[in-house]
Structure 1
């Protein structure tokens, strides 16, 4: 039930993002909004002296990013206050983390410009650095890219994370809901995000995937048409030592293979962002051909019948 709820939330976010029309199409217009960090620390420093909840003001003054983070993450000022009191030392670790954000801002503008080259239709959302309850490192919302600043101990990897979330704003992937669809959505965001930033954000999953490729590809062929996401996205059953979100890895590998097979690379990026039929996309990628042929042979079916 929890997995289905997560997927429904993602579908809602995706559809809302696609309907967003007020983002700039100029990569140099990228907005970095950090006022929520200042407001958070003002509230934090009032905790010992205030008789009430100082985070009420933080919420009231909040940017659209705080509002986007509220419903499923911050919840309300009382929920935030309770977690901050309990984890004061953990929050303190991020107090000065945004001091070097200006250098990252220049880097992100370059990443945005790279996407504009590969995908001229790209839209560029604002980026909000907010404080939540240690339950999210970041998300794509209709308001823009929202970063959970309390989870940052430094700015290493922030450009890659923003690049990944940026791609979700460009995606319009349709077709029947199944494991394959969601894996190429996440893996595609990783692939294009890495292409424009040069940074990989899921190193543990990718290392495990490469080390266990044969076993995982066989399993994925058995599972990819199902609506059961366990062990591939958003959690594992603990049946083995796999990390969470191996679907990012296999979605990346499928996308990479598709990209490599296309002569017109710029056109390939547009096609990756606008997949209409995930099964046909998989077929054209050729990545799992050997495993699909083996699977179909065991079922006495043809290769083409799989798709």
Structure 2
């Protein structure tokens, strides 16, 4: 009887890594790859669907149930067939990232003491669950209440500790108060997550992500602030002016960089922390900051001490209103594709700053192929000079609405052009009537 109890306990510990009541669920990843390997053994789609249903979906945790209801646009429920399509259309990409997911148990052993330290620094920490799942490319980190869902296929990388900073950042979101979703408030919330993750991880974000937006921000900080302050007065919810969420980014000193709104929020929170004598209280203030209104967001910005003296009156006296970014001579067009009879014809012009001799291939990655830039079924043909094209039957795209991007050599994702009117979430959009 004792032996059975011991075996049961070992099985439970293998499935999850536990510290106190915070649980890191990684078993869904094991189940996914068991289903993936099984799908490769047959070309019979009914059998493939049965493998995914039985080995991945039916065995799934709450994280998989979340992926089922949050992985398809329009509130649709994702069925086993969606994952079969992913496994067959993005097979090479799944094989490529598989080693990055194999080390999740070792990363959980890193996260356990980090969460313990988190609780020591922030006594009001609320326990929850962290689910690592293999979704359909629709989310990377998604907090819901006290739980956190990690779309591993989106965020996994070759970095041996890729999950640590991501989990710490996203978990802070589960502890925050609701934002009013205008630019300043949103940047403060995201920047708070970056900064608190850095404090808890005890590792500088510039070291974690060399050449990323934090590193860039430090190098061009005065210019970034000069540009950012033009948009602080915006009161439009969800209008972020390319400061957030992987859109084309802002041009600073002639250089383009994405996600600089994170950097601004990070630096404001860091300034607040550095000026505070009671560091634990500062952590509490940053996590629990109230940015539910524009005025409260401004109050935190001013209290942080980050605003240069020369700009204090500007920030103190500004009125929150609709901010219009003037782009002279920009005519918005539908970009990247056209519909011809039963075909979708994708067209891409190589930017002038890219040497054509360095281009090995150009592909299209989007919601229709699991965002896999290395799927050569979506490789474009050079039809004239720097013009590349690919025609696909509309029937192959199945759904009516899609998002996509052009990718050079499998890893150089091309930004959405400034004059494109068919955009969403920083991607190009495609609509089939």
Q: Give the alignment's TM-score, normalised by structure 1.
A: 0.80
Task: Tell me by how many angstroms 1:149 deviates.
Answer: 2.7
Q: Distance in 1 between matches of 2:249 and 2:199?
A: 32
Q: Structure 1's 290 and 69: CA in aligned 2 closer, same or farther, altered over 3 A?
A: farther
Residues 283, 289 of structure 1: 8 Å contact kept: no
Task: Tell me by how many angstroms 1:261 deviates.
Answer: 1.5
**Total equivalences in the alignment:** 274
Q: Which residue is equivalent to 1:212?
A: 220
Task: Tell me by how many angstroms 1:202 deviates.
Answer: 5.1
Q: Which residue is equivalent to 2:182?
A: 178
Find out whether 1:287 has 2:306 as its counterpart: yes
Three-state SS of the structure 1 residue aligned to 2:240 is: coil
Task: Tell me by how many angstroms 1:188 deviates.
Answer: 0.3
Q: Distance in 2 between matches of 1:99 and 1:223?
A: 43
Higher RCO, 1 vs 2 (CA within 8 Å, ≥6 residues apart) = 1
Q: Which has the larger radius of gyration?
A: 2
Three-state SS of the structure 1 residue aligned to 2:98 is: coil
Counting only pairs closer than 5 Å after superposition, residues 98-247 of structure 1 correspond to structure 2 as: 98-142=101-145, 144-151=147-154, 152-154=156-158, 155-174=160-179, 176-199=180-203, 200=205, 203=210, 204-226=212-234, 227=236, 228-237=239-248, 240=251, 241-247=255-261
Q: Deviations over 1:72-127 (max 9, x none)?
A: 32643222222221111111123344443333222211111111111101012222
Q: Which residue is equivalent to 1:304?
A: 316
Task: Tell me by how many angstroms 1:27 deviates.
Answer: 5.0
Three-state SS of the structure 1 residue aligned to 2:136 is: coil
Q: Which residue is equivalent to 2:59?
A: 61
Residues 173, 185 of structure 1: 8 Å contact kept: no
Q: Give the alignment's TM-score, normalised by structure 2.
A: 0.58
Q: Distance in 2 between matches of 1:239 and 1:115?
A: 33
Q: Structure 1's 243 and 261: CA in aligned 2 closer, same or farther, altered over 3 A?
A: same
Residues 126, 144 of structure 1: 8 Å contact kept: yes
Unaligned runs of 5+ in 2: 1-17, 73-77, 291-295, 320-433
Task: Tell me by how many angstroms 1:247 deviates.
Answer: 1.0
Q: Which residue is equivalent to 1:88?
A: 91
Q: Which residue is equivalent to 1:35?
A: 27
Residues 173, 273 of structure 1: 8 Å contact kept: no
Q: Which residue is equivalent to 1:252?
A: 266
Unaligned runs of 5+ in 1: 1-25, 297-302
Task: Tell me by how many angstroms 1:190 deviates.
Answer: 0.7
Q: Larger deviation: 263-272 or 284-293?
A: 284-293
Q: Distance in 2 between matches of 1:153 and 1:164?
A: 16
Q: Deviations over 1:253-276 (max 9, x none)?
A: 000001111221111111111212
More strand by share: 2
Three-state SS of the structure 1 residue aligned to 2:257 is: coil
Q: Distance in 2 between matches of 1:27 and 1:271?
A: 25
Q: Structure 1's 210 and 153: CA in aligned 2 closer, same or farther, altered over 3 A?
A: closer
Three-state SS of the structure 2 residue aligned to 1:133 is: coil
Find out whether 1:274 has 2:288 as its counterpart: yes
Three-state SS of the structure 2 residue aligned to 1:128 is: strand
Three-state SS of the structure 2 residue aligned to 1:139 is: strand
Three-state SS of the structure 1 residue aligned to 2:28 is: helix
